[in-house]
Amino acid sequence: MDPSRITSVAEARRLAARAVPRALFDYVDGAADDELTRARNEAAFRAVGFRPRMAAAAGEPRLGIELFGRALSLPVLLAPCGLVTALHPDGAAGVARAARSRRTVAVLSAVAGASPERVAASLGGGDRPLWYQLYAPGGRAEWEPLIDRAAAAGYEVLMVTVDTPALGNRERDRRNGFTGSMRVRPRGAVRLAGQVAARPGWALRMGRSALADRRNPDPGGPTVGLVAAGGSPFTWDDIAAMADRWDGPVVVKGVLGAADARCALDAGAGGIVVSNHGGRQLDGAPATLDVLPDVVAEVARSVPVLLDSGVRRGSDVVKAMAMGAAAVLVGRPYLYALAVAGTAGVERLLDVLRADLTRTLTLLGCPGVDDLDLDWLDTGPPAAG
């Protein structure tokens, strides 16, 4: 599909629903249980307004940031996501190329469906913004060799996801006949076959790519067997041991409060991602924007605090950064775009978010993301008393 048809995240979502089989769209779009936390994430952004200033700033606002010594052209990173290879043949390597071409970072999920070596090699020579996200259902015996492989392949930052000691209850996936390990039950297979037949473009692209993969198999194979019902439990001792072993920043993803932010810092984390996994894990967990101020206060600028879950527009990026986030990550927005138009779709999505961010800052009268603070926000009437 023509990537220029992506004009917003909402439009990318609408187009994605028509591009891939329904069960795959549901896997991306869905969340846990009643999807309350997923709804809360977006509602929390809507509840915050702006306090614009007029006739103040001139020229293009500054969007660039520096994160772990790397200059990024915008404060939006691509979150680690499993099974990206099923959405479009461009897969995880295509996402990494899109991020590099827009001078940002894509974090490779341990269950993306492509090995860290293959994705690193696909970027060829030159600058390689490589971050690796770890799951290790098998504990230390599994994570030690995995992080050594990621280091040898040139990954700079290790992101450890701590909110998946078990897999969330994704009811859409159950309805579609997927088991916890994302295998399809026989009844689901029949329905899936019908859905695939209804998306011949996707089926043809994926079929061709499966043949090409056979001729040129990924030597590292997928890194971790899918995180099945057992999940990937980690302890703070594991994080401390990883921080000792990994020669670079270890970023802890999935923190939702000051106490856990403190545990992460004590374990040697070099960064924190305030995340509820896009509402896909514990339904009823708080919206990330609501807990961000507590985490930022606890961390007190000692390490960067990033945020994800519910970021859909440039204005959301501005709100999170005004509340102290160093940058944000997006998950579903780029997955929709990948499903629509592969690498070009992800590039287009990043361009749309960049334009959105530029427009929001210009209308706000703010000269750059580095100027953002709470004074730019309207967070509601002051408490009485």
Binding-site string for ligand FMN from residue 229 to residue 248, where x marks contact by CB under 6 A and - marks none: --------------------
Report helix, strand or coil for 329.
strand
Q: Which of 100, 172, 332, 348 binds ligand FMN (CB under 6 A)?
A: 332
List the one residue from 330, 337, 341, 357 that touches ligand FMN (CB under 6 A). Answer: 330
Beta carbons of 308 and 351 less than 8 angstroms apart: no
Whole-Å CA distances, 36 to 138, 283, 284, 346: 31, 6, 6, 27
Q: Which of 277, 313, 319, 354 is catalytic?
A: 277
- Alpha helices per DSSP H over 85-221: 91-101, 116-122, 140-152, 171-175, 186-197, 200-215
Asked if residue 12 binds ligand FMN (CB under 6 A), the reply is no
Whether residue 45 contacts residue 39, with contact meaning beta carbons closer than 8 Å, is answered with no
Query: Is residue 308 within the footprint of ligand FMN (CB under 6 A)?
Result: yes
C-alpha atoms less than 13 angstroms from C-alpha of 109 in its C-beta half-sphere: 22
Q: With CB under 6 A as the contact rule, which of the stretches 124-132, 189-197, 208-216, 325-333 interacts with ligand FMN? A: 325-333
Q: Cα–Cα distance between 24 and 29 in angstroms, integer?
A: 9
CB-based contact 364:318 (threshold 8 Å): yes
Alpha carbons 171 and 173: distance in angstroms, whole number: 5
CB of residue 56 to ligand FMN, shortest distance in Å: 31
The interface with ligand FMN within residues 128-167 (CB under 6 A) comprises 133, 161
Using CB under 6 A, which of 98, 105, 111, 157 touches ligand FMN?
Answer: 111
Please confirm, yes or no, whether 277 is among the known catalytic residues.
yes
| Residue 82 is a binding residue for ligand FMN (CB under 6 A) | yes
Three-state DSSP at 107 gives strand
Q: Does residue 310 touch ligand FMN according to CB under 6 A?
A: yes
Min dist CB 23 to ligand FMN, Å, is 12
List residues with catalytic annotation: 277
Residues that bind ligand FMN (CB under 6 A): 27-28, 79-82, 109, 111, 133, 161, 253, 275, 277-278, 280, 308-311, 330-332, 335
